[in-house]
Amino acid sequence: MSEKTNHPSGAPWRNFYGRIHGKTLRDRQKRLVEDVLPRLSPGPVSVDENPERRAVDLSGLFPGRQLWLEVGFGGGEHMAHMAQTHPEAGIIGCEPFLNGVAMALAKIEDEGLEKDIRIHAWDVRELFEVTAAEIFDKAFLLYPDPWPKARHHRRRFVTPEHLEPLHRALKPGAEFRVATDIPDYVRQTLEEVPKAGFEWLAEGPQDWRRPWSDWISTRYEQKALREGRVPHYLTFRRI
């Protein structure tokens, strides 16, 4: 069922499927959403902030550094880890689920990462609509919502609606990482991502069975492992 109300952070509605909030935010989480989140916004991305849909220059967010994108960062564990591990990059994370945003904001504050991360607390499609072409050096899609029912597969990220603007936003040669524990999501990823202009870099089974050298296992992955599902780590290059 699609959400048809404004996001609690103030972002306007668009045709979005999935949850935008869960449990009531605790006092600290409310403070972070109210006070810290606006400071970490990548710019006038949403319709209300940018009514004329002018292009937003993201290149100046992290001067002299690469610009990375994480789509659906969950609670922010991987995003915070990458920011600490790769000081040469700044990261923009997109996540519509407000409770996850609040968790990520707590990590950013606790670990002093406000100079390394920006948060778009809504649909990544809004960011794609206003950002310049060939701006991102790397992108991550990690344990996305699997939408297991066949009639819902069109809601998955690995569809032309999302992959084509992602391709446009990535620089030629940029890396696109996908992690999932759902075999049918692997199937659709391997079918659709190359069609959108990406090359799969695997040369053998170890290349999708073994995590990346800078990987951190998130709580989503730990849940998958406990339940007997097998993670797949897929690496693509933007052609």
Please give the share of the chain, as a percent, with pLDDT higher than 70. 90
Residue 20, pLDDT above cutoff 90: no
16-17 and 66-71: which strand pairing?
unpaired
Domain spans in the chain, listed from the N-terminal domain onward: 2-238
Of 153, 230, 135, 220, give the one whose Cα is nearest residue 192.
Answer: 153
pLDDT at 128: 93
Considering the candidates 48, 116, 123, 145, report the single residue annotated as catalytic.
Answer: 145
Q: Which of the four pLDDT bands, split at 50, 70 and 90, describes residue 1? A: very low
pTM of the model: 0.89
Decide if 145 is catalytic: yes
pLDDT at 2: 45
Integer angstrom CA distances of residue 170 from 68, 86, 145, 149, 236: 9, 18, 22, 30, 12
Please give the share of the chain, as a percent, with pLDDT higher than 90. 79
Lowest mean pLDDT among 15-29, 86-100, 142-156: 15-29
Q: Classify domain 2-238 at the CATH superfamily level.
A: Vaccinia Virus protein VP39 (3.40.50.150)
